[in-house]
Structures are given as C-alpha cells and as structure tokens.
Amino acid sequence: MQPVIELAGLEVRFGQRVILNKLNAALTGRAIGLLGPNGAGKSTLINTLLGFHKPTSGTARVLGRDIRTHAREVRGLIGYMPESDSFIAPMSGVRFVRMMAELSGLPSEAALERAHEAFFYVGLGEVRYRPLGTYSLGMKQAAKLASAIAHGPKLLFLDEPTNGLDPPARTRMIQLIQEIRDRGDLSLILSSHLLRDVEECCDQVLILKDGNIAAFCNLEEERRANLRFLEIETRGSNNGDFLAAVDRLGCQTASGAQGRIKLILPDGVEVRQLYEIAAAQNVQLRRLSHKRDSLEDIFLKAMETPNGGI
C-alpha cells in the first residue's frame, strides 16, 4: 500500500532553530491525525508539505510525489483548510471558492458549478452570495472547507477545523469530515489539539513534540485492542473466587481497591461469560466498561517522553 505521506529524514530549520527534527514515518491511513501541543511543529509540517517552507535536509513524499522535485504537482493533489481566517472579506463566498477552484486548474464553468455544490455540501447554500466578511465563525470554517474540497483534491489538509465552533457547528463539521472520509475518494490529514476530534475522525495518529515524532499509532488497532480491555467493579464476598475463575478463562487480570478489576479478554472469550461466572460466584458486577480514553493515554504517554522520539 502506497503511503499517503512518507517522511524521509525531514528536517526544517528557521535560522538556528530546529522546527522539525529529521522525521521518519510512513502514514498510510485514510484519515491521519496530527496531534501535539502548541509549537510541536504540526503547522510547520503541513506548510512544508505544501511547499511553503523548504526542508533543510531530507524530504517527504505526498502520494508518491517528492515535495522537493514535484512541489507543484503535490499542491495540485491537495485541498487545504488553514487554521486562521483566510479569505477576501468583500468577495461573495461562491465567487471566492470559484476563483480558488480556477486557480487549481478547473475551467471557469466547472469551477462555478463545483463552487455552488461545495457550498450546498457544507450547508452554506443559502448564504453563498453574501460577502465572506459577514459570515459567522462557524460559517467561515465551513466556507474554508468548501474552498478546500471544491477542486476535488486527493488529499485534504484540515488545520484545526473545529476551532471556535459551538457544539452544534462542531458536530456538523465532524460529520462532514467523517462523510468525506467514509466516501474513500480522498485521504485526509487532520491537525488538531483536540483529542476528541482526532479520535472521532482518524484511523492513524502522529503525535509531535518539540519537532520530533513522540508517538505514531494506528487508532483502528488500538480500538480493536480496547474492545478486549475491560474495567469492572464488583461487589460481594467472593471476589477472590471470581478473580480466580476469570483467570482460569485465560484473562489477564489486575485487581485494584474496592472491587475494581482491569482485565484483558483473550480471543474466544466473551463478556457474557464474565456475567455467568459472577452469577455463579454470587458477585455483583456494578460497572463494566471498555477502556475509552486510549488516545488521551497515548498522548499523555508521548508527552512524558523526554525530547519526543519513539
């Protein structure tokens, strides 16, 4: 499988400051999250892939094209939704998006048609003739997404797409991103500091810290693993027998205070069997939950790693 993005010793310096420190990774996911605290190098990485910054050494390939030698071709494949407000305030939304699509190479008529479609798609159909400067924050974010997808890119860069959105607008934006992802026509890179956004939209995540890769994981695999990772809370006098019976099923267990038990179910063992054992041992299962905060754990672990690096 061809990586969407391949980082090959990519280093970017601004003067003497190392911003990206010889990054190596092959990102193959359909939706890749880019996480990291402020100043980690997320935006610099995106800007470098877009050709705004020249790598000091190393290179990167986007959908197989080298950013050093095929920068123009790479940009032709990308749709970019920047973090900050980027538009010409007096222009109407549809005219601006049409112009951007034309700059990407679409003929004038096709650009106009797709600009209208993109505006309806992001839910701004009714306001597409209004000047962009009069849009609310949520509408501006949606207009930026329309501008990023109007020319039909193969790869979408979304830089903090839910920034400043109220809950309904955020939900709508996340739904749009998920819809685009699920169609499978394009890959997307989602840069965010919001773990929830990344968790809801992405199947791979690259965590940056101080210009280094602090962690890189496949969220799909993590989710599958988490389905087998349970936390339960028990009540009853036979907790010891219950624990021994669960062990005999082949589960790895760790007991905590007040009847709390963490366990990993081996393949072939179902949750139902735990209930049966509990009933047989006269133990109450007060709470049973799959481990839910895996990305947060991964992120926090990555942040604890000194100077990043995996």
Partner 1 sequence: MAVYKKTYRPYEGALTASAKRFFVITRYAMEDLRRSKFLNIFYALSFAYPLVSSLMIYLAHNTSALQLIGGGGGAPGAQARGLAAFISINITFFNSLLGWQSMLALFLAAFIGPGLVSPDLANNALSLYLARPFSRLEYVLGKMTVLVLLMSLMTWVPCLLVFALQGYLEGGGWAADNARIAWGMFFGSWLWIILLSLLALALSAWVKWKPAAGGLVFGVYFVGAAFAAMINTVQRTDWGSLFDVGYLIGSVWTRLLEGATRTTDGPIFFRNPQGHELPIAACWIALFALGGACLYMLTRKIRGAEVVR
- Which 249-288 residues touch partner 1, going by CB under 8 A? none
Q: Which residue has the tokens 């470098």?
A: 48
- Which 100-129 residues touch partner 1, going by CB under 8 A? 100, 102-107, 110, 113-114, 116-117, 120-121, 123, 125
Window contacting partner 1 (CB under 8 A); options: 83-91, 192-200, 256-264, 291-299: 83-91
C-beta of 89 vs 279, nearer to partner 1: 89
Q: Which residue has the tokens 């036979």?
A: 238
CA angle 25/27/28 to nearest 5° reads 145
185 binds partner 1 (CB under 8 A): yes
* Contacts with 84 (C-beta within 8 Å, 6 or more apart), sequence order: none
C-beta of 144 vs 209, nearer to partner 1: 144
CA dist., res. 35 & res. 132, Å (int): 29
233 binds partner 1 (CB under 8 A): no
Q: Which one, of 232, 213, 200, 208, lies nearest residue 23 by Cα?
A: 213
Q: How far is the CB of 90 from partner 1 (least distance, A)?
A: 7
State which of residues 51, 58, 131, 236 lies at the interface with partner 1 (CB under 8 A). Answer: 51
Beta-bridged to residue 261, according to DSSP, are: 232, 255
CA dist., res. 63 & res. 158, Å (int): 17
Decide: 67 and 60 in contact? Cβ < 8 Å: yes
Q: Which residue has the tokens 């222009």?
A: 91
State which of residues 1, 2, 72, 126 lies at the interface with partner 1 (CB under 8 A). Answer: 72
State which of residues 62, 173, 186, 208 lies at the interface with partner 1 (CB under 8 A). Answer: 186
149 binds partner 1 (CB under 8 A): yes
164 binds partner 1 (CB under 8 A): no
CA dist., res. 307 & res. 310, Å (int): 10
Read off the amino acid at residue 285: L
Chain residues binding partner 1 by CB under 8 A are: 14-15, 17, 43, 47, 50-53, 72-73, 75-76, 78, 80, 82, 84-90, 95, 99-100, 102-107, 110, 113-114, 116-117, 120-121, 123, 125, 147, 149, 151-152, 154, 157, 179-180, 183, 185-186
